[in-house]
Structure 1
Amino acid sequence: MKLTRHSPAPKRQKCDHWSPCPPGNFAYRILSGGGKQRKAKICFEDEQLISEWNNGAGSGINIAIVNYKTGKLRSTNFFEMWAGDHSREMMDFIRNAPDGSLLLMATHDDGSTRLRNDAKKLVEELGSKEIKNIRFRSSWVFIGAKGFKLPDNIQKEKINHSDQTKNRYKGWPAEIQIEGCIPRNLI
């Protein structure tokens, strides 16, 4: 009988990263929705802040606000941008986040149809370079900071306007994601 060696199963990392974050860092993973059924997911320090399993994800722009010093969730919400104009509520939600907050955002379905320019400008002030490029059913994910600056070398944002007739979701956007590690000593 020939013995075969099997590699041990890889150790699961926070937020399902392939490799662990260095000590003194927070782990994050932001996944946009995909298709009609796959909702947005926001993970921070291995806690699912927004997902289809905790009923926190919705159509439009999903936002989780995290206290940067403690790494603890402050609040979550989603803002429908197809059926009504919820830009003002989204802006109030962002403005009410205290300085020293991380804002993690992801779209599902449509986050742009009724998203007003003043709301885009507010998100741009948090560091977004793509919010002004968001279109009908664009997939978009973003992490920004309020009251401090994130390092330039981390993945902060991604947008996809792919031809939705040519992906597996037939007319619905495909999911995209960003993930990374944020040093805990920025402020």
Structure 2
Amino acid sequence: MDMTLYLRRGPTTLRKKRKFGKLLLLLIVAAGLMVLFPFRNIIYPEIYFDMNTSSQRSKEMAFAPFVSPSNYHQASEKRQHKCGLPKSCPIGTFAFNIRSGAANAIPPKICFNGQIILSSSLKNADDGLNIAVINARTGELIRTGTFNMWHGEVESLIQFLKAVEKDTLVLIATYDDGATKITDEARGLIAELGSASINKLKFRDNWVFAGGKGISGRSPFEKHIANNRTNNKYDNWPELLEMTGCFPQKMD
């Protein structure tokens, strides 16, 4: 009787030991996976990033668990090019973005070297010609001015332009009307900055320009669209103009 019981219980005991061994092995594997999980992007980068290719934001957030908040913020900023340009400007140039005003509702905006220097929020953009003068060597903003060419005085514009010194950059954007009261003298001063379109600027045309005092020839940074009620986007005003580029820095 005892032998029979022993023989019957023997295999049962072995099966229990085997089950316990399998369970222990599974627990060890699970613990190992939990330890390795935070480092999955290091061990299997191609698999990890394939799961996060749906958007640029997803790729950026993939780094979030592995860097400090300040470093992550800096890493995100490096992916953003100055003034919204699609590519970074080469060394020795300044990035810029100029937008004319949309009809008489949305004022113009000028961004230079990653900083907004003229906009409605800065309270230095208004009807007429909006101008920013910048040091061509350092990229520092010297001054801005806005000149109403519908009911303002053109003399203030002329004095502003005459005060522009050599080796400075000049960025201009229109809003509403930038031409009604402009004179040949004012047009000539702007042409000396490298503008080819200033002489044909008319009532409510949209125009953006980037040039400089002492520039040789015509600036490649200029856009102009005529006010034509047949083709206008905003009834009495043409569509908004936007121009981006990399302006060469003045070297000593």
Please report the TM-score for the alignment, with normalisation by the length of structure 2.
Answer: 0.67
C-alpha separation in 2, matches of 1:34 and 1:165: 17
2:241 is aligned, of 171, 176, 179, to 176
Q: Deviations over 1:44-90 (max 9, x none)?
A: 10111111111110100000000011100000010000013x22111
1:6 is aligned, of 54, 73, 91, to 54
User: Is 1:96 aligned with 2:157?
Assistant: no
Which residue does the alignment assign to 1:52? 120
- What's the offset of the Cα at 1:29? 1.1
Higher mean C-alpha displacement, 119-128 vs 176-185: 176-185
Specify the code of the residue in structure 1 equivalent to 2:168: S
Specify the code of the residue in structure 1 equivalent to 2:226: H
CA RMSD of aligned residues (A): 2.0
C-alpha contact 2:194 2:215 (8 A) present in aligned 1: no
Which residue does the alignment assign to 2:150? 82
Report how many aligned residue pairs link the two structures. Answer: 182
C-alpha separation in 2, matches of 1:5 and 1:17: 22
Seq. identity, %: 35
**1:21-170 pair list within 5 angstroms:** 21-84=89-152, 86-149=153-216, 155-164=220-229, 166-170=231-235
C-alpha contact 2:205 2:237 (8 A) present in aligned 1: no
C-alpha separation in 1, matches of 2:118 and 2:181: 22
Q: Deviations over 1:154-178 (max 9, x none)?
A: 7411100153465442322321022
Bigger radius of gyration among the two: 2
Q: Could you list the runs of 5+ residues in structure 2 that have no partner in the other structure?
A: 1-50, 58-75
Q: Could you list the runs of 5+ residues in structure 1 that have no partner in the other structure?
A: none
Please report the TM-score for the alignment, with normalisation by the length of structure 1.
Answer: 0.88
- What's the offset of the Cα at 1:183? 2.3
Specify the code of the residue in structure 2 equivalent to 1:116: T
- What's the offset of the Cα at 1:4? 6.5
Higher helix share: 2
Larger relative contact order (CA 8 Å, sep ≥ 6): 1
C-alpha contact 1:155 1:179 (8 A) present in aligned 2: no
Q: Deviations over 1:4-53 (max 9, x none)?
A: 63242493211111111112211011111012211111111011111111
Specify the code of the residue in structure 2 equivalent to 1:79: F
Higher strand share: 1
SS of residue in 1 equivalent to 2:158: helix
